[in-house]
């Protein structure tokens, strides 16, 4: 039997460990889903007007193709029509139509986070920028011919240095390339000629503040990683520098057709959002099998119930420990768990106060009913009725005093409370008032500890994301079930006997 229990417990521990490892290592779940996280909020505001019949404004938006996790978006279009389209890896928002006479305010709000350790994939084949003629391509190839044998990182360093000193460069080919194409396009042309995949990016510096203009940079693949450079100077950005890309390639971040655009403003700020929202958005957009069977797929109105329900086994485990290992006396086995669930609506202090009041009133009534010598079922029916009357009185008092906790009393487990009154009376008759009060205090203490567990939101989130942890709880319950040693309270109870033996 011991071996059977050991095998079952081992399986109950290994199965959830395997599932959690798969979720974390393969599916990218957070190891500690309740750890504090901050997200970014991006706001875009612009006022458009014009005398034309209609026009349009296009703006680049954060995209998952840029390594971001977009958690939510809100768009305000006023009287204009809004459309969203994809242009390669770019997401483009377009507002079109006829603006109001005094102008139309358009807004965009996005909440996103940057996953830790994100890295862009290696690039595919790239081409020369559009508009670069074959003569200019040959000129670029002539300029870089002497560095093609160098490693990619060294090639990039040489080109960056040459661009940074372009004004002093007396090579007529370089001067003609820069004069004809402009600094950024000339740099991209040289990078392509040097077999260094690259593209232009337009975006924002990822720091809190408001910005009226975007910035541009060039991202270059060195064979092992991406580096970012300023196109005008060839200076490298620090690896730790945070930049928010809005568009790639020749697509501008803001483009207007027929509109007079004023008061353009980008605003970036940090926010702390609910971990429930983060996990819900991440899992809700996944097509993987385990994500499809996640509790986050339940309708929102049912998720709140399971957030609490899934911790009830943990409360039962706590009762096992407190009763079998420590030796707390309680009324019944699961009565403290049910009381803890009821305390969620009344609050802990109000809940314990109501519990004590109803218990004492019920005990007084039960003591009076003893003289009538009623049968068991009718007597319990009378006690249930009395408990309901007490609940009603508390609700009316709560309404008069504007105490919502008193009005939420109806959710208390009245049947369990009735049985607790009966048990309190029996213990008083058999073992005395002191033992009955000790049992009542033990029940209240266990219910309070269970309430603290059930209300602990990080624990709720962890079990909601990884419900397989319930198998581990079951394993611990089996181990406690096999424990036949002394309770800790018994060492105190029989301490005089130990002194006598000594």
For 429-462, what is each residue's pLDDT tens digit?
Answer: 888 888 889 889 988 888 898 888 888 878 888 8
Rg (the chain; Cα; Å): 35
Average pLDDT over residues 377-388: 90
For 307-328, what is each residue's pLDDT tens digit?
Answer: 888 888 888 888 888 888 888 8
Asked whether residue 281 is domain-assigned, the answer is no
Report the alpha-carbon distance of residue 26 to residue 19 in Å, rounded: 10
Give the total number of structural domains in the chain: 3
Asked whether residue 478 is domain-assigned, the answer is no
Asked whether residue 366 is domain-assigned, the answer is yes
Asked whether residue 418 is domain-assigned, the answer is yes
For 223-233, what is each residue's pLDDT tens digit?
Answer: 777 888 887 77
For 253-303, what is each residue's pLDDT tens digit?
Answer: 888 887 888 788 889 888 766 565 666 666 766 677 777 788 877 876 777
Kindly tell me if the per-residue pLDDT of 409 is higher than 80: no
User: Residue with structure tokens 């033990």?
Assistant: 442
pLDDT at 208: 83
pLDDT at 78: 66
Q: Give 497's pLDDT tier (boundaries 50, 70, 90).
A: low
pLDDT at 183: 73
Whether 215 and 181 share a structural domain:
no
Q: Give 244's pLDDT tier (boundaries 50, 70, 90).
A: confident
Let me know: does 413 contact 339? Beta carbons within 8 Å.
yes
Whether 377 and 456 share a structural domain:
yes
Let me know: does 342 contact 413? Beta carbons within 8 Å.
yes
pLDDT at 385: 92
Average pLDDT over residues 212-227: 83
Q: Give 471's pLDDT tier (boundaries 50, 70, 90).
A: very high
Structure tokens at 70: 């977009």
Q: What backbone torsions phi and psi does residue 46 show, to the nearest 5 degrees?
A: -155, 145
Report the alpha-carbon distance of residue 243 to residue 237 in Å, rounded: 10
Which of 467, 481, 326, 324 has the alpha carbon at shortest distance from 8? 481
Q: Give 474's pLDDT tier (boundaries 50, 70, 90).
A: very high
Q: Domain boundary residue among 256, 272, 288?
A: 272
pLDDT at 14: 94
Whether 102 and 131 share a structural domain:
no
pLDDT at 122: 57
Let me know: does 384 contact 366? Beta carbons within 8 Å.
no
Q: Does the CA dihedral 177-218-259-48 come out positive or negative? A: negative
Asked whether residue 388 is domain-assigned, the answer is yes
Whether 169 and 82 share a structural domain:
no
Whether 70 and 92 share a structural domain:
yes
Task: Report the SS3 class of residue 406.
Answer: helix
Which of 105, 28, 2 has the alpha carbon at shortest distance from 286? 28
Q: Domain boundary residue among 149, 174, 196?
A: 196
> Across 436-487, where does the E strand assignment appear?
none
Domain extent for 174: 127-196
Edge-first strand order for the sheet with 215-221 is 226-229, 215-221, 198-205, 243-248
Report the alpha-carbon distance of residue 438 to residue 52 in Å, rounded: 84
First to last CA, the chain: 37
pLDDT at 51: 63
Asked whether residue 16 is domain-assigned, the answer is no
Q: Domain boundary residue among 141, 168, 196?
A: 196
What DSSP element (H or E) covers 106? strand 104-113
Which of 224, 139, 127 has the alpha carbon at shortest distance from 180? 139
Structure tokens at 401: 């005093």
Q: Give 469's pLDDT tier (boundaries 50, 70, 90).
A: very high
Q: What backbone torsions phi and psi does residue 226 show, to the nearest 5 degrees?
A: -95, 135
Asked whether residue 102 is domain-assigned, the answer is yes
pLDDT at 389: 92
What DSSP element (H or E) covers 422? helix 414-431
Q: What backbone torsions phi and psi does residue 154 show, to the nearest 5 degrees?
A: -75, -35
CA angle 495–497–498, rounded 5-degree value: 65
Whether 186 and 326 share a structural domain:
no
Classify residue 121 by its DSSP letter: P
Q: Give 16's pLDDT tier (boundaries 50, 70, 90).
A: very high
Whether 317 and 431 share a structural domain:
yes
Whether 360 and 457 share a structural domain:
yes
Q: Residue 492: how many CB atoms within 10 A of its CB?
A: 10
Kindly tell me if the per-residue pLDDT of 424 is higher than 60: yes
Whether 266 and 354 share a structural domain:
no
Whether 93 and 239 share a structural domain:
yes
Asked whether residue 491 is domain-assigned, the answer is no
Whether 171 and 227 share a structural domain:
no
Whether 107 and 211 share a structural domain:
yes
Q: Give 161's pLDDT tier (boundaries 50, 70, 90).
A: confident
Which of 176, 166, 116 has the alpha carbon at shortest distance from 142? 176
């Amino acid at each position: 039997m011991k071996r059977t229990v050991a095998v079952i417990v081992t399986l109950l521990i290994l199965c959830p460990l395997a599932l959690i490892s798969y979720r974390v290592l393969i599916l990218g779940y957070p190891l500690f889903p309740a750890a504090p996280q901050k997200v970014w909020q991006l706001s875009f505001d612009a006022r458009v007007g014009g005398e034309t019949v209609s026009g349009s404004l296009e703006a680049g938006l954060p995209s998952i193709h840029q390594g971001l996790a977009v958690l939510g978006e809100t768009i305000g279009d006023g009287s204009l029509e809004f459309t969203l389209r994809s242009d390669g890896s770019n997401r483009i928002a377009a507002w079109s139509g006829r603006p109001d006479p005094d102008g139309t305010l358009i807004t965009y709000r996005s909440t996103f986070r940057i996953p830790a350790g994100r890295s862009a994939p290696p690039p595919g084949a790239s081409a020369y920028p559009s508009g670069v003629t074959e003569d200019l391509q040959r000129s670029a190839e002539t300029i870089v011919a002497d560095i093609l044998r160098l490693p990619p990182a060294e090639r990039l360093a040489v080109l960056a240095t040459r661009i940074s000193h372009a004004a002093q460069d007396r090579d007529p080919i370089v001067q003609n390339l820069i004069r004809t194409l402009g600094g950024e396009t000339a740099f991209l042309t040289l990078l392509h000629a040097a077999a260094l995949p690259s593209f232009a990016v337009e975006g924002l510096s990822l720091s809190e503040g408001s910005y009226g203009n975007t910035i541009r940079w060039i991202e270059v693949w060195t064979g092992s990683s991406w580096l970012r450079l300023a196109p005008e100077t060839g200076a490298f950005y620090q690896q730790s520098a945070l930049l928010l890309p809005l568009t790639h390639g020749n697509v501008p971040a803001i483009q207007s057709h027929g509109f007079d655009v004023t008061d353009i403003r980008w605003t970036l700020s940090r926010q702390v959002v609910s971990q429930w929202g983060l996990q819900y958005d991440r899992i809700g957009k996944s097509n993987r099998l385990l994500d499809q069977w996640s509790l986050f797929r339940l309708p929102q109105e049912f998720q709140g119930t399971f957030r609490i329900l899934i911790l009830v086994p943990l409360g039962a485990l706590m009762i096992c420990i407190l009763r079998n290992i420590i030796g707390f006396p309680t009324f019944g086995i699961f009565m403290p768990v049910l009381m803890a669930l009821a305390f969620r609506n009344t609050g802990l202090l109000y809940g314990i106060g109501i519990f004590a009041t109803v218990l004492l009133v019920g005990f007084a009534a039960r003591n009076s009913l003893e003289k009538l010598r009623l049968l068991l079922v009718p007597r319990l029916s009378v006690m249930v009725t009395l408990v309901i009357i007490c609940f009603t009185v508390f609700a009316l008092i709560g309404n008069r005093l504007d105490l919502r906790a008193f009005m939420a009393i109806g959710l208390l487990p009245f049947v369990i409370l009735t049985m607790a009154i009966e048990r309190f009376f029996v213990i008083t008759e058999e073992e005395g008032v002191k033992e009955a009060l000790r049992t009542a205090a033990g029940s209240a203490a266990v219910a309070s500890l269970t309430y603290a567990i059930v209300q602990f939101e990080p624990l709720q989130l962890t079990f909601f994301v990884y419900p397989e942890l319930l198998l581990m709880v079951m394993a611990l319950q089996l181990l406690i079930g096999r424990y036949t040693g002394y309770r800790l309270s018994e060492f105190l109870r029989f301490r005089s006997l130990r002194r006598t033996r000594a």
